[in-house]
Structures are given as structure tokens and as C-alpha cells.
Amino acid sequence: MRLVLLGPPGAGKGTQAKRLSTKYGICHLSSGEMLRAAAAAGTPVGLKAKSLIDNGEFVPDEMIVSIIAERIDHPDCAAGFILDGFPRTVPQAEALERLLAERRLSLDVVVALVVNESILLERIEKRIADMTARGEPLRADDNPDVLYDRLATYRKQTAPLIDHYARKGILRTVDGMDSVENVSAAIDEILAGVRSRSQVGDKARTRRKGPRKPAKRAKKRARPRAARRGRGAVKARKAAPRRRPSTGRKSKAGQRKSGSRRRLTKRR
């Protein structure tokens, strides 16, 4: 199963993605976590991403798309994956579609967690205050100002993905303000339907032994010449002389014709 979890920062995507990864045995691909890991490891990509992440700005599309493409090819993603934090823009969604198509894969579903932004801000501010009180380390982008900007960016750049996926017919929405248990139950119900559909597809693919092949184009059947002529075709057919019902006997002309054809074949 391959799915995308959509929702603004703090909507609970991470919690749900981790749970679903365990439940379905599919990998959880968090773009933010992958970028933070690259930054911590001090890789060239990570160092480039670090200041952008700390300021809550997006990293360039090609950077995140190539990280995701490479990760999807790992064997642990063979059974499927949950994308969390990617795609974040329509061009990223289009890049994802291309890279999946190159692998003859597609998304099964996109689950959007719908939230009330002002309640969300309050929740996140409370979580930051609680973590600070407990002396727990905070992420550099875990501060109300950065968060406010990230929500604005979500609205402008990521929310259009809801329409994008709705048009494709694979969007499902869940009330992200509900309790974790209810959000989990709602997502599970959606995925139960999707899973049975995707299993039918997987079984068909296994029977064919190998990945899905592009559908063969049906051969174009030659249209009768009269039909190719367009509207006049009907008239032309009407005007044609009616054949007499066959008596079983061949006409002289017919005999001559077939006789000459036989001679030609013999000479060749």
C-alpha cells in the first residue's frame, strides 16, 4: 500500500504514520526526518538543508525529490510506504507521480488531516511550553514564530494539494481535531477499503509474474473504406447494387478469375 498523509505541521501526521508503518509493515518516509538526519550526519545535502530547515523554509524540490526517489527503491519499501511531509507543493506531487510511473507504481490513497489552525497553534504552543518545562530538547523550528510562518506556507503551497488529489479521486479527509483514537479509527477504516482494492491489484500482478506492464494498445482495426469517407458512406452503401442470394454455382466470370489466379500461383 502506498499513501500520502497530508496536513499542516502539528496535525498529527507523524503519530499516525508511525502507527500505520507498524500496523501494515510498510515504511514511514518522513521528509523532515530524512533532512534532519542528513543535516546531523553533515552530508553536503544536509548542510545545505540545515539553515533552510531551521528557518522553516522549504528545501529545493530537486533535493527532496531525489532523496525520496532513492529511499523508495530500498527493499524495505517493497511492500509500500507512507509519505509524511512530502509532497508539499504541486510540482513535488507531479514529480512524485513521474517517479512512481517510472517504477510502474501509483498512490493508493491520500489522507488529509483537516484541522482548525487557531486551535492547532494553541496546542503546539502548549506542547512547546510543556517540553521546555520538562527540560526536553526542542527543534530549532519548534518556536511559535517559525510555526506561524510554516502554517502560512502550508496554506499557500501545500493546501492546493487537497484539490490536486481530489481531482485524481484518491483524496480522503479525516477530522484531525478529533482524539488520537478516533483519528486512528477513521484512517483505519479508509485504509481497510483501499487495502482490499490494492491487494486485488497486487495478486493480479503476481499472477502475471512481475511488475505491472503498460497496457498494450489495441490494434487499430481498419475501418471500411465507405466509413472512412464520412457522411457520404451511408449513401454510398445504399447506392451499391444488392447482391443476389448465392445459388452455390459459380458464374463464368468467377470461374475464369479463380482459374487465372491458380495459374499465377503455379507460375510463382
Cα gap 167→157, rounded to integer Å? 17
Cα gap 208→84, rounded to integer Å? 32
What is the 8-class DSSP label of residue 111?
E
Check: CB of residue 14 under 8 Å from CB of residue 3. Answer: no
Please report whether residue 56 would count as binding ligand AMP according to CB under 6 A.
yes
- Counting beta carbons within 10 angstroms of the beta carbon of residue 176, is it exposed (0 to 12), middle (13 to 18) or buried (19 or more)? buried
Residue 85 or 198 having the CB closest to ligand AMP: 85
Nearest to 119 by CA among 11, 232, 201: 11
Active site residue 150: yes
Determine which residue in the list 7, 8, 32, 176 makes contact with ligand AMP, applying CB under 6 A.
32
Residue 1 or 4 having the CB closest to ligand AMP: 4
The site that binds ligand AMP (CB under 6 A) totals a number of residues, namely 17
Q: Measure CA 220 to chain center.
A: 30
Residue 36 or 198 having the CB closest to ligand AMP: 36
Please report whether residue 81 would count as binding ligand AMP according to CB under 6 A.
no
In 40-158, where do the E strands start and end?
Answer: 81-84, 109-114
Q: Which stretch binds ligand AMP (CB under 6 A): 52-60, 159-167, 189-197, 203-211?
A: 52-60
Please report whether residue 10 would count as binding ligand AMP according to CB under 6 A.
no
Check: CB of residue 150 under 8 Å from CB of residue 141. Answer: yes
**Which residue out of 103, 104, 127, 223 is catalytically annotated?**
127
Active site residue 219: no
Please report whether residue 80 would count as binding ligand AMP according to CB under 6 A.
no
DSSP secondary structure letters along 113-133: EE--HHHHHHHHHHHHHHHHH
Determine which residue in the list 58, 121, 170, 202 makes contact with ligand AMP, applying CB under 6 A.
58
What part of residues 144-183 is at the interface with ligand AMP (CB under 6 A)?
150
What part of residues 85-144 is at the interface with ligand AMP (CB under 6 A)?
85-86, 88, 92, 141
Long-range contacts of 185-193 (CB under 8 A, 24+ apart): 187/16, 187/20, 187/111, 188/23, 190/109, 190/111, 191/1, 191/3, 191/20, 191/24, 191/109
Check: CB of residue 103 under 8 Å from CB of residue 69. Answer: no
Q: In the bound complex, which residue of the shown chain has the CB atom lying closest to ligand AMP? A: 32
Please report whether residue 57 would count as binding ligand AMP according to CB under 6 A.
yes
Active site residue 244: no
Determine which residue in the list 3, 17, 38, 53 makes contact with ligand AMP, applying CB under 6 A.
53
State the residues that interact with ligand AMP by CB under 6 A: 9, 31-32, 35, 52-53, 56-59, 64, 85-86, 88, 92, 141, 150
